[in-house]
Structure 1
Amino acid sequence: MKIGITCYPTYGGSGVVATELGIELAARGHQIHFITSSQPFRLTGREANIHFHEVSVSTYPLFEYPPYDLALATRMAEVADFYSLDLLHVHYAIPHSVSALLASQMIATHTMVARRRRLPFITTLHGTDITLVGLDPSYLPITRFSIEQSHGVTAISSHLADRTREAFGVTNEIEVIRNFVNCDLYSRKPELVAQMRPRFAAENEHLFVHLSNFRPVKRVLDVVEVFARVSRVLPARLMLIGDGPDRSAAEQLALRYGVQDRIHFLGKQDEVHDLLPLADLMIMPSQMESFGLAALESMACSVPAIATRVGGVPELIDDGVTGLLFEIGDVDRMAEAAIGLLQDKPRLQAMSAAARRTAQDRFCTTRIIPLYEDYYRRVLERNA
């Protein structure tokens, strides 16, 4: 198949999933065309069967805000026509599904294209496009309309699918295809851990990790709170991977607790699969997670997560078996549980093994990517 993929190319769960999906589909022989404002950060530009098409937006004095969604729609139609794409797959509803709808209509009716035909598009909902942005009164009607007009709709968790139906009243079929992880790439390699871990923690120290875009919804300040409590009892270090609006506040909080010299602020990292296996525990105390991709990636690396019981997280983490779940903001219990787990090595080892096994059995690329391929075929058959 020839598939056009549009996503936000910067750091964030939806962009990561879309990029990894394209890489995996290309490895299975499909022709993948990324149509975005810049090259997605996880692409090297050397992958076979992957092509990148930049969306450029002209600036005119008339436009206070450059109309990216219109430029995107035009580029989608151009690429679809020139390369005879079979379908478009857009990630994050706003504004990508609206642009895909316009491109689909242009292909079907406009004289700019050489061959008038049907160009189906699939919208994948990732979370805040529904729970936050889409519910804004300024965007709710257009979000609902673009979902209703999509030829196929997928969601990354049952929770998000249910929330979409409740919030928008849409009657479309929503296919639940959960996020995935490359279990070969994301794995604990003892020799690499032995080589890299001393950079971040001494042999007698425990190592925590947190990975996010540091937006308020990720509650990175709670990560520092939990770590500060643990470090009073056990020798420990913390790797904070990512960057964003709450980084400065996290640094100030670390200073207040006097733990700044035990926290590694690593910023944005491309090779997170080399860093995650170094940790003993992941901390993911989010206000909302429609799935919890960071936790899945750490689980594949045999690192269980201490997380919040929100959104789609309970669909990923089996409380007490593959990780530990708590209420939002309950940093005292999170810290207490982390201390108890780190002091009980057999239980930690069993949980780590169960986390890895769950990633392999339920969320590995070999299990999830065929679900996308099957869904593409069904959408194409319905719209032949």
Structure 2
Amino acid sequence: MNILQALFFPPEQPGGVSSMVPYIQERFSKLGWPMELFSLPKRVRGKGQEPVSFDTFDVVHYEGNPIIDKYLQTYRDYVWWTKLRIKKNYDIIHAHHPISALVMKQLYPDIPLVMTIHSSFERELILNGKIVEGGMEHRFLTAVYGELESKAERILTPSASFREYLRPYVKDADRIQVIPNGFDEKRFRPISHENAVVQLITVCRLVPAKGLDVLLRACAQLKARGHAFVLHIIGDGPCREELERLAQELNLYDDIIFYGYMLHPEEFMPFFDVFVLPSRAEAFGSVFAEAALCWLALVGTNVGGIAEQIDDGVNGLLVEPENPAALCNALEKVVSDRDYRYNMARAAWNKAKKAYSLQRVIAQLKQVYTEIKPEPEAAE
């Protein structure tokens, strides 16, 4: 079976999807299933000229809005690039972004389409203050889910909570299959170490949706309680300068290291003690599973896929979002008690190894692909 994995970002870009799909490709190739990756390069901008139309709603009603126009132009660019680059047929196309899915179905309507909806662009825009809930952009982006439902032979998503998020925007959410993300264990090498001062780490894009302002305020309270720590922030984004100013205002600047973007943070994480990320929303939160496989204690917010990964008090600690005091209390538990922190990290590693293995994802995807397009031997 010849399969195309259609991404939006190139696979070298940061993020759970981009870091997972190349390993899926490698495993399937070893099984004798040829698999190729396809994505839109960043340099392709403003090339596409074809009109965009959907079956389930009229795009014309949304044109003229800057954010929507940019989305539609990206769609046109993806059409242009796909026509230019793809010259062969595939048995199945598995898309990982709404634009790549809809473009592929438009250009290759007879090829079965699998779509994994990994996250919510509109929710991220709302949390980052770019759009308002119920506004034109929100209505357009949520209408796209119905278009995907009408076009894809199978829709997948990484968490049950995100399937529930999608329910108001599709006709039959129960048809959406949950396949949590999986990770190649070979990428993660826990290291036995003893840090004199507890090392906290967070890895994310520096945007309001990730709640790092809440983390800094929690850390200021933790410092006021007399606990020593260093917070390592890996990632970049539009909020970096604002977060650096906040760190100075909270008298935390000497306790924090801002690294900027790092291509393979999992190579760095095993040297730390606690992973913390107080996201305001998260469809899955791949970085929690990655941190668990690095043998770190986990602290996160009780939202979306994070709450499905962390069993509070067993393999990590959950707090409500927007609550620096609660986050400080959770951090105090893991910072002040080494044995508690160790046991929590060990439990997190055990769960991640079993629940989020790449082999499990391969088996589930193989079943999905063969159900949609049975191999000749299986059909006989």
Class of the TM-score when normalised by the shorter of the 2 chains: 0.7 to 0.9
- 1:178: how far off? 0.3
Equivalent of 2:346, from 329, 345, 353?
Answer: 353
Partner of 1:46: none
Partner of 1:178: 180
- 1:207: how far off? 0.2
8 Å contact kept, 2:234–2:259: yes
* Separation in structure 2 between the aligned mates of residue 178 and residue 169 of structure 1, nearest angstrom: 22
1:193-246 deviation line (CA, Å, top 9, x unaligned): 68xxxxxxxx42110001111121101112222222223322211110111111
Matched, 1:227 2:232: no
**What amino acid does structure 1 have at the position aligned with 2:139?**
P
**Structure 1: runs of 5 or more not aligned:** 40-53, 106-117, 195-202
Helix, strand or coil at the partner of 1:351: helix
Partner of 1:169: 171
Q: CA RMSD in A?
A: 2.9
With normalisation by structure 2, the TM-score equals 0.82
- 1:166: how far off? 2.6
8 Å contact kept, 2:40–2:81: no
- 1:35: how far off? 1.7
Matching of residues 129-144 of structure 1 within 5 Å: 129=121, 131=123, 136-144=138-146
Matched, 1:30 2:33: yes
> 1:16 and 1:135, CA in 2 relative to 1: closer, same or farther beyond 3 A?
farther
**What amino acid does structure 1 have at the position aligned with 2:142?**
L
Partner of 2:247: 254
- 1:84: how far off? 2.8
8 Å contact kept, 1:157–1:312: yes
- 1:75: how far off? 4.5
- 1:156: how far off? 0.5
* Separation in structure 2 between the aligned mates of residue 309 and residue 87 of structure 1, nearest angstrom: 36
**What amino acid does structure 1 have at the position aligned with 2:95?**
V
Aligned length: 345
Helix, strand or coil at the partner of 1:286: coil
* Separation in structure 1 between the aligned mates of residue 7 and residue 217 of structure 2, nearest angstrom: 33
Matching of residues 145-164 of structure 1 within 5 Å: 145-164=147-166
Matched, 1:314 2:319: no
* Separation in structure 2 between the aligned mates of residue 131 and residue 380 of structure 1, nearest angstrom: 34
- 1:91: how far off? 0.8
Matching of residues 290-369 of structure 1 within 5 Å: 290-369=283-362
* Separation in structure 1 between the aligned mates of residue 181 and residue 325 of structure 2, nearest angstrom: 30
Matching of residues 1-384 of structure 1 within 5 Å: 1-9=1-9, 10-38=13-41, 58=47, 67-73=73-79, 75-76=81-82, 82-93=87-98, 95-105=99-109, 118-129=110-121, 131=123, 136-170=138-172, 173-190=175-192, 203-232=195-224, 233-381=226-374
**What amino acid does structure 2 have at the position aligned with 1:86?**
D
> 1:20 and 1:331, CA in 2 relative to 1: closer, same or farther beyond 3 A?
farther
With normalisation by structure 1, the TM-score equals 0.81
- 1:285: how far off? 0.3
8 Å contact kept, 1:220–1:246: no
8 Å contact kept, 1:35–1:55: no
* Separation in structure 1 between the aligned mates of residue 145 and residue 28 of structure 2, nearest angstrom: 27
Helix, strand or coil at the partner of 2:233: strand
1:119-154 deviation line (CA, Å, top 9, x unaligned): 111110112147457971123333311222111110
> 1:90 and 1:245, CA in 2 relative to 1: closer, same or farther beyond 3 A?
same
8 Å contact kept, 2:314–2:347: yes
Helix, strand or coil at the partner of 1:88: strand
8 Å contact kept, 1:216–1:246: yes
* Separation in structure 2 between the aligned mates of residue 261 and residue 132 of structure 1, nearest angstrom: 30
**What amino acid does structure 1 have at the position aligned with 2:269?**
L
Identity rate, percent: 20
Tell which deviates more after alignment, 137-146 or 18-27: 18-27
Helix, strand or coil at the partner of 1:340: helix
Helix, strand or coil at the partner of 1:83: coil
- 1:374: how far off? 1.3
Partner of 1:200: none
* Separation in structure 1 between the aligned mates of residue 233 and residue 31 of structure 2, nearest angstrom: 34
- 1:92: how far off? 2.5
- 1:180: how far off? 1.4
Partner of 1:114: none
**Structure 2: runs of 5 or more not aligned:** 52-68, 126-135
Helix, strand or coil at the partner of 1:305: strand
Q: Which has the higher contact order (CA 8 A, sep 6+)?
A: 2
